[in-house]
Amino acid sequence: GQNIDQPTEMTATEGAIVQINCTYQTSGFNGLFWYQQHAGEAPTFLSYNVLDGLEEKGRFSSFLSRSKGYSYLLLKELQMKDSASYLCAVNNGGFKTIFGAGTRLFVKA
Amino acid sequence: GAVVSQHPSWVICKSGTSVKIECRSLDFQATTMFWYRQFPKQSLMLMATSNEGSKATYEQGVEKDKFLINHASLTLSTLTVTSAHPEDSSFYICSARDGGGRGKNIQYFGAGTRLSVL
């Protein structure tokens, strides 16, 4: 089967760092994506990893280990506006990208 | 770049009527578009995959006669909810995959359509 697991909810403090983990089991692999989705809005693209290692983009970084079927999204200097759901998604080499259920992040003052 | 436009953003209709939702890729060609449905606080549910010039592929449990999908060009796909009923009320989101050189197979999402059926 194909499966993507990520925590349901996380809470962190403004200004802190938070790491959202994602593990996956898919029939193939052609890239892992992270999306941000605010309540009532559509997802927006954050990052893409296809090779092992860390990709950094401003306050957000994403890491991939293909051998472990593992990724994380790292958010630094958290802001209140970062409160959202974060979706981990994997392209299995075909037409489909499989989405995880999302991690709801609550940032508190 | 990589903008996907979805219209309308919000629609209220009477039970039994049909509603058409448009999804356009504005600055890239999308050979593949996807239609999702999302209930409050739940994850995205893929309804169908739409390939330009061919019939859509529907996920298990999605009625193809109820949710008509047309992908007539490389930049436009439409979803028509036929004979809508209150249980069809949901947030419908389209996405388009940029399979071009820039693309990395990234899916870009439209802003979504909130459908309320009375």
- Listed in sequence order, the residues at least 6 apart from A36 whose beta carbon sits closer than 8 Å to its beta carbon are A43, A44, A46, A84, A85, A86, A87
Return the number of other C-beta atoms located less than 10 Å from residue B113's C-beta.
24
Q: Which amino acid would we find at residue B46? A: L
What phi-psi label fits residue A58: left (phi over 0), alpha (psi between -120 and 50 degrees) or beta? Answer: left
Give me the mean pLDDT over the B40-68 stretch: 90
Q: Do residue B43 and residue A101 have CB atoms under 8 angstroms apart? A: yes
Nearest residue in chain B measured CA to CA from A41: B111
List the single best residue of A4, A5, A51, A95 to mutate versus B (max B Cβ within 10 A).
A95
Tokens found for residue A36: 């941000």
Mode of pairing for the β-strands spanning B32-38 and B45-51: antiparallel
| Distance in Å, alpha carbon of B108 to nearest chain A alpha carbon | 7
Most confident of A85-99, B9-23, B104-118: B9-23
State yes or no: pLDDT of A2 exceeds 90: no
Residue range A3-33, pLDDT digits in tens: 999 999 999 999 999 999 999 999 889 999 9
User: Is A100 in the B-facing interface, judged by CB distances under 8 Å?
Assistant: yes
Q: How open is the CA angle B78-A90-B5, to the nearest 5 degrees?
A: 25
Q: Do residue A42 and residue B93 have CB atoms under 8 angstroms apart? A: yes
> What residues of chain B, 44 to 83, have a C-beta less than 8 Å from chain A?
44, 46, 49, 51
Q: Is pLDDT larger for residue B98 or for residue B81?
A: B81
User: Is A83 in the B-facing interface, judged by CB distances under 8 Å?
Assistant: no
User: Is B110 in the A-facing interface, judged by CB distances under 8 Å?
Assistant: yes
Short-list A103, A71, A93, A87, CA closest to A26 = A93
Nearest residue in chain B measured CA to CA from A102: B43
pLDDT at position A85: 96
* Bridge partners (DSSP) listed for residue A88: A34
Q: How far apart are the first and last CA of chain A?
A: 40
Give me the mean pLDDT over the B44-49 stretch: 92
Q: Is the peptide bond before A7 cis (omega within 30 degrees of 0)?
A: no
Q: Which amino acid would we find at residue A86? A: Y
Nearest residue in chain A measured CA to CA from B112: A42
CA–centroid distance for B100 within its chain: 21
pLDDT at position A53: 97
pLDDT at position B55: 87
Q: Is pLDDT larger for residue A82 or for residue B30?
A: A82
pLDDT at position A51: 94
Q: Do residue A99 and residue B44 have CB atoms under 8 angstroms apart? A: yes
Which residues in chain A are closer than 8 Å to B46, comparing Cβ atoms? 96, 99
How far is residue B11's CA from residue B57's CA, in Å, rounded to a whole number? 25
- Listed in sequence order, the residues at least 6 apart from A56 whose beta carbon sits closer than 8 Å to its beta carbon are none
Cβ-in-10-Å burial (0-12, 13-18, 19+) of A76 comes to: middle
User: Is A86 in the B-facing interface, judged by CB distances under 8 Å?
Assistant: no
